Amino acid sequence: MFDKVKFKETVETILKVDYGKTIENAEEYEKYNGISKAIMELISDNWNATEKLYSNGKQAYYFSAEYLMGRALGNNLLNLGIYEEVKDTLKELNIDINNIEEIEEDAGLGNGGLGRLAACFMDSAATMNLPLTGYGIRYEYGIFEQKFEDGFQIERGDNWQRYGDPWSIRRTEDTVIVEFGDGKIKAIPYDMPIVGYNTKNINTLRLWKAESIEEFDFQLFNDQKYDESVKEKNRAEDISRVLYPNDSNEEGKMLRLKQQYFFVSASLKDLLRKYKSRFEKDFSKFSEYHAIQLNDTHPVVAIPELMRILVDEENIAWEEAWNIVENTFSYTNHTILAEALEQWDIELFKKVLPRIYEIVEEIDKRFILELKEKNYSHEKIEDMRIISNNTIKMAWLGIHGTHTINGVAQLHTDILKNKELKDWNKLYPEKFQNKTNGITPRRWIALCNRELTEMITELLGTEEWITDLSMLNKLEKYIDDEQVLKRLLAIKMEKKEELSDYIFKKEGIEIDPNSIFDIQIKRLHEYKRQLLNAFHVLDLYYRLKEDPNMDILPRTFIFGAKAAPGYFRAKGIIKYINEIAKLVNNDPDIDGKIKVLFVQNYNVSYAEKLFPAADISEQISTAGKEASGTGNMKFMLNGTSTLGTYDGANVEIVKEAGEENNFIFGARVEELEEIGGSYNPIEYYESVPGLKRVVDTLIDGTFDDGGTGMFKELYDSLTIGAHWHRADNYFIFRDFDQYREVHKKVDRAYRDRLDWARKCLKNIANAGKFSSDRTILEYGKEIWHIEAKKIQ
């Protein structure tokens, strides 16, 4: 039961103690911190009780380099079931909860789907009462704050802690020491509560901060060598300074490897310390009490690190230690792209982690013997061994050293098993599973789309669907209910108006909520084909210029994405789209028929406004390249049709909601495999009407890339290729005409408003499969073998 009087008193006390202020004269950020800390006090007993409840049985641990959590205040209030009570209490204090929520900085501790999936899993595990703890890095600065200057992406430090961090507790008493080839550093844990929905359970996300063992060298400081006196301190803190530092040179690569080893070593030492306090030196039960999920290859170095601890520090025989390791770890593969499968140069690895390299070398030798005993050929062994061609293949280590490997969508898993990892699947067929990704319904509808949530609850007569998304299929009976369909359209319009206001406030750009909102928001990568979208927008512009009376519905094309700082081509695509926006939006002849906008600093909070407002969900990756996607699921849950290829989880979305309620185009995986090396993009470039005209704008002076050569490089990548890939590697030219045609189909379909609403409702009603609650329960039952435990 929420105690309004006590809550007010707690907030007042915190403001007095922390800032020497009253509610009346406190700054907005001070009020935010006071309110957040009051919530922390409210949940502390249940947090401790949860830890105690879980401590006696088997627990799972999620090792991930990324956690893209989003704002905590609103989400925690929703999950605690006290959002409205706190809102009303704050109103009595003359505080607008919306203003307070806007103060909170997004903790940008992730770059995209990988990190957001980890966040959804943490929410779902707490809600489903599963004993899961997250481990990662407490980056001082997140991915980066993105600004556009003259259309170019500019990166600035993402100081997410500028107003403090009321949602984390520093646990100095649990500090551990991590050792590298060139020295030792401290790993300090910070614990963040993960509040379950409609449960008292509070799970934990433990993030490690790197600090120097010596604060500074007093003697050097006394000798007035000030920079040198803090050199070691800065070097240590660099490890947790920035998420994914630029690794275009050796120093950057070494820092990335140090980051990976730092958090897995600290996490394993943390687990082993707790285990030894209970079982002392008997490690035979370790895998009975610990299930560790490696989220992609970043934490795979945990495999040799646990071997090192068991063999070197605990004096366990190799075979016994390997048995413990193999039965403890499982590995999620998130990519089909060969170039994204992590590999480390041997010399660099040896320099940073000399003993770990020796362990990996021994693992590789024993694996070779295993393959020889199975009569594998020399060529096949070379393909599969963990160390080859002067590199360490982390994905191979992840497969060999774990008991389960899973893909993240059925198509992705099938491709892994039958193509990319077929040799491994043949060797270890019992290891491979599929776990289609999911999203948490709490943040991605209950929090960000209250109007739709209210309607669904009213129609279903219960709020239980928020923790059992399969109940949404009961909405099917309203598929021809005109009143419901009109209400759904009205809610969509309300969210579009909200987004329009938000964009005007953030970007200073007006967009028309009556236009079709066509949205592509995701990490910027060539295979995701933002460039295909851009070419279509430009083609539509040229066609409108030729025929001003062309009958099209007004359309607003919205992009949101960050390009990795060292990814030249991706940054070129951002600049190109911004050049197209400048051309289109400033042409009076267009008269508002189309508008183009690239939102700045796309993050979780921006996403919460974009997903509910979308009419079209752009999911246009080259077939067979997107492992799953989760943005597609967020759009679907909020009543948006997918315009996409038959790729990743799109395949399953279409299967659930029907192809007739979505807009599928483009070559499928089988077709692209058939085309293979015979693909000639120039044939399409020269024969598809309008294609050459838009592609040539990269080199004919239509747009200015500021002398960077970005646009010419993009043009060459499409028409000539590069030493590492063929021309038009992602089949943009091949799919362009079909993409244009499917957009015409959207235009026609949108005109029948009730039928469009049916498509939207059909998508919502069939989104049940894509809950991360379902995914996490599958992990718990089929991989981790853990049981739910609930505080009564």
The answer to which of 227-231, 291-295, 399-403, 412-416 has the lowest mean pLDDT is 227-231
Domain ranges of the chain: 4-363+389-434, 492-763
Q: Which of 291, 301, 213, 290 is nearest to 262 (CA)?
A: 301
* 634 is known as an active-site residue: yes
pLDDT digits (tens, 9 = 90+) for 392-426: 999 999 999 999 999 999 999 999 999 999 999 99
pLDDT score, position 231: 79
pLDDT digits (tens, 9 = 90+) for 467-479: 999 999 999 999 9
Residue 446's pLDDT band, with cuts at 50, 70 and 90, is very high
| Encoded tokens for 535 | 């070419």
pLDDT score, position 779: 98
pLDDT score, position 507: 97
Residue 556 β-bridge partners: 517, 595
* 241 is known as an active-site residue: no
Q: What is the residue type of 612?
A: P
CB 399 within 8 A of CB 431: yes
Q: Which of 241, 334, 435, 495 is catalytic?
A: 334
* 522 is known as an active-site residue: yes
Q: Which of 71, 350, 385, 523 is catalytic?
A: 523
* pTM listed for this prediction: 0.97
pLDDT score, position 113: 87
Q: For 163-182, what is the mean pLDDT?
A: 97
Q: Which of 50, 630, 642, 645 is catalytic?
A: 630
Same fold? 4-363+389-434, 492-763: yes
Q: Which of 200, 431, 625, 634 is catalytic?
A: 634
Its CATH architecture, for the domain 492-763, is: 3-Layer(aba) Sandwich (3.40)
pLDDT score, position 226: 65
The C-alpha atoms of residue 684 and residue 681 are separated, in whole angstroms, by 5
* 543 is known as an active-site residue: no
pLDDT score, position 230: 72
Helical axes 113-127 vs 772-779, angle rounded to 10°: 80
pLDDT digits (tens, 9 = 90+) for 551-595: 999 999 999 999 999 899 999 999 999 999 999 999 999 988 999
pLDDT digits (tens, 9 = 90+) for 450-461: 999 999 999 999
Q: Which of 443, 528, 734, 762 is catalytic?
A: 528
* 523 is known as an active-site residue: yes
Task: Give buried/exposed letters for 371-393 (b at 16+ CB in 10 A, else e).
Answer: beeeebeeeebeebbbbbeeebb
Task: Give buried/exposed letters for 262-282 (b at 16+ CB in 10 A, else e).
Answer: bbbbbbbbbbbeebeeeeeee
Q: Which fold has domain 4-363+389-434?
A: Rossmann fold (3.40.50)
Q: For 179-208, what is the mean pLDDT?
A: 97
Q: For 135-148, what is the mean pLDDT?
A: 95
pLDDT digits (tens, 9 = 90+) for 689-748: 999 999 999 999 999 999 999 999 999 999 999 999 999 999 999 999 999 999 999 999
Residue 276's pLDDT band, with cuts at 50, 70 and 90, is very high
Residues whose CB is less than 8 angstroms from the CB of residue 276 and which lie 6 or more positions away in sequence, other chains included: none
Say whether pLDDT at 336 is over 90: no
The chain-wide mean pLDDT, for the chain, equals: 96
| Encoded tokens for 513 | 């909520």
pLDDT digits (tens, 9 = 90+) for 615-669: 999 999 999 999 999 999 999 999 999 999 999 999 999 999 999 999 999 999 9
Say whether pLDDT at 339 is over 90: no
Q: Where are the alpha helices (DSSP H) in 238-345?
A: 250-279, 286-289, 302-308, 318-328
Q: Which of 417, 435, 496, 522 is catalytic?
A: 522
* 71 is known as an active-site residue: no
